[in-house]
């Protein structure tokens, strides 16, 4: 069977990085099936174009993954694909919370033949086998023999063959410039941001975030060796093909277990596996000078920090009072002193925000070292 894994575009921005789920499920697909990937952010298509592609490539199953923000588009694409007679299975954070919506059990139209709930590492091979036999079930849930949810341990972790995949659609250098830059021999003819996970789960349970609910509060890590091997393979591939490769450790809180993060960073340095990297780390964990030294030595360039608010009352209200606005400036200066910069993320519209909050937040940001502040509106996800 030929399978297409499709991630819809968000209609606003061109994502700077492909989604890990597609590469992971491709790697976990049982032998004998071929998997094609399309990310709408990198390769935009409307319904007609996607259906034409599916017919031309003789696709027998389409898997769609989406966050809430992209779900309306995901459903429209799914409807067109199903109307063309190809079954659709959907997964990811949105349909996990409201599977009845995707399956049309809430009184609305049906969009998917099957839904994969939660982490699909273990259910995906079964979904493929059932689809190949024409016997898709409606719901696939990762349960153990007693009916309890089973989370993948991440040990062992599948080897994603980045070096053997066609990553052309995810190149950050616009196509017309690639040949010119390649001819110049600058090594910047091709630039990729690669998503890597070193662990899953976060126990903090901030009220606005779906991560603790989805991945659970039990944290799981890959072995250091498995992460280092992945980096070394990527580094070799980048050198051989004269590409620039950067890594985004997509863990929700890369330093949630500081001891383990330090040991991973030490192993990366010892193996000379450094590639420029970005990760998400909460401000409270960046008090640790040794951790910040290791981030710099392992080539950490940008740290995404969920500041959320400069108001402690707001933070307490959303269960994130481990964030201390009074120490934000010190944390950012500690990073900047080592040439590491921060993507500082804020939520606007928290319950205690009052008139003038944006102005106050901007004034505070202006007192910090340069970085990339980003702002989102408080959004109730299902």
Q: Which residues lie near ligand B12 (CB under 6 A)?
A: 10, 15, 17-21, 24, 63-65, 67-69, 89-94, 116, 119-121, 124, 195, 197, 209-211, 215, 250, 252, 376, 381
Residue 204 interaction partner, one of ligand SF4, ligand B12, none, beta carbon < 5-8 Å per kind = ligand SF4
Nearest Cα neighbor of 25 from 75, 91, 77 is 91
Shortest Å distance, C-beta 225 to ligand B12: 20
Residue 205 interaction partner, one of ligand SF4, ligand B12, none, beta carbon < 5-8 Å per kind = ligand SF4
Does position 204 bind ligand SF4 by CB under 6 A? yes
Q: CB–CB of 47/76 below 8 Å?
A: yes
Q: Looking at 5-13, 197-205, 263-271, 283-291, which segment touches ligand SF4 (CB under 6 A)?
A: 197-205
Q: Which residue in the set 282, 298, 309, 344 belongs to the binding site for ligand SF4 (CB under 6 A)? A: 282
Binding characters for ligand SF4, 230-269, by CB under 6 A (x = yes): ----------------------xx----------------
φ/ψ of residue 301, rounded to 5: -110, -40
Q: Quick one: how far is CA 48 from the chain centroid?
A: 28
What distance in Å separates the CA atoms of residue 198 and residue 219, rounded to the nearest whole number? 11
Shortest Å distance, C-beta 10 to ligand SF4: 20
Residue 93 interaction partner, one of ligand SF4, ligand B12, none, beta carbon < 5-8 Å per kind = ligand B12
Q: What is the 3-state secondary structure (H, E, C) of 7-19?
A: ECCCCCCCCCCCC
Q: Looking at 144-152, 170-178, 199-207, 334-342, which segment touches ligand SF4 (CB under 6 A)?
A: 199-207
Binding characters for ligand SF4, 306-325, by CB under 6 A (x = yes): x-------------------
Residue 296 interaction partner, one of ligand SF4, ligand B12, none, beta carbon < 5-8 Å per kind = none
Q: How many Cβ atoms sit within 10 Å of the Cβ of residue 248?
A: 19
Instruction: Give alpha helix (H) positions in the chain.
Output: 20-27, 47-56, 71-83, 93-97, 99-103, 124-132, 178-184, 211-215, 224-240, 258-270, 289-297, 312-317, 328-336, 357-366
Does position 209 bind ligand SF4 by CB under 6 A? yes
3-state secondary structure of 148: coil
Does position 128 bind ligand SF4 by CB under 6 A? no
Does position 103 bind ligand SF4 by CB under 6 A? no
Q: Which residue in the set 15, 212, 284, 321 belongs to the binding site for ligand SF4 (CB under 6 A)? A: 212
Tokens 């996990």: give the residue: 96
Shortest Å distance, C-beta 47 to ligand B12: 18
Does position 213 bind ligand SF4 by CB under 6 A? no
Shortest Å distance, C-beta 203 to ligand SF4: 8
Token pair belonging to 182:
């390649």
Q: Looking at 158-166, 205-213, 216-224, 374-382, which segment touches ligand SF4 (CB under 6 A)?
A: 205-213
Number of residues that bind ligand SF4 (CB under 6 A): 11
User: CA-based angle 60:160:78, to the nearest 5?
Assistant: 30
What distance in Å separates the CA atoms of residue 239 and residue 272, rounded to the nearest whole number? 14
The contacts of residue 346 (CB under 8 Å, 6+ apart) are: 307, 308, 309, 361, 373, 374, 375, 376
The contacts of residue 360 (CB under 8 Å, 6+ apart) are: 310
Question: For the chain, give me the number of helices (H) and strands (E)?
Answer: 14, 14
Applying CB under 6 A, the residues found at the interface with ligand SF4 are 202, 204-206, 209, 211-212, 252-253, 282, 306
């Amino acid at each position: 069977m030929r399978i297409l894994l499709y991630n819809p575009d968000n209609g606003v921005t061109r994502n700077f990085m492909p989604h890990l789920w597609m590469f992971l499920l491709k790697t976990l697909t049982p032998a004998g099936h071929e998997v094609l990937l399309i990310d709408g952010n990198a390769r935009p298509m409307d319904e007609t174009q996607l259906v034409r592609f599916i017919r031309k490539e003789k696709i027998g199953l389409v898997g769609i993954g989406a966050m809430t923000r992209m779900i309306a588009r995901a459903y429209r694409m799914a409807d067109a694909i199903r109307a063309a007679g190809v079954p659709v299975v959907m997964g990811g954070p949105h349909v996990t919370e409201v599977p009845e919506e995707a399956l049309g059990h809430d009184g609305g139209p049906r969009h998917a033949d099957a839904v994969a709930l939660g982490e699909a590492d273990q259910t995906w091979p079964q979904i493929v086998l059932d689809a190949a036999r024409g016997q898709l079930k409606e719901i696939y849930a990762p349960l153990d023999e007693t009916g309890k949810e089973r989370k993948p341990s991440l040990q062992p972790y599948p080897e994603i063959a980045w070096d053997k995949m066609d990553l052309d659609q995810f190149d950050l250098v616009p196509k017309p410039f690639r040949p010119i830059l390649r001819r110049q021999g600058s090594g910047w003819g091709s630039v990729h941001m690669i998503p890597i996970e070193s662990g899953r789960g976060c126990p903090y349970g901030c009220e606005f975030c779906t991560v603790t609910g989805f991945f659970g509060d039990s944290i799981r890590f890959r072995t250091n060796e498995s992460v280092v091997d992945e980096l070394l393979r990527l580094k070799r591939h980048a050198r051989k093909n004269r590409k620039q490769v950067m890594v985004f450790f997509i863990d929700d809180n890369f330093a949630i277990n500081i001891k383990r993060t330090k040991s991973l960073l030490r192993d990366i340095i010892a193996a000379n596996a450094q590639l420029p990297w970005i990760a998400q780390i909460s401000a409270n964990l960046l008090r640790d000078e040794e951790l910040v030294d290791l981030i710099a030595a392992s080539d950490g360039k940008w740290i995404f920090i969920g500041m959320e608010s400069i108001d402690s009352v707001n933070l307490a209200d959303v269960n994130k009072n481990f964030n201390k606005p009074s120490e934000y400036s010190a944390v950012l200066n500690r990073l900047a002193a080592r040439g590491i910069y921060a993507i500082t993320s804020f939520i606007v519209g928290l319950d205690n925000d009052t008139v003038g909050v944006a102005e106050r937040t901007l004034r505070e940001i202006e007192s910090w070292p340069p970085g990339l502040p980003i702002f989102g509106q408080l959004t109730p996800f299902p």
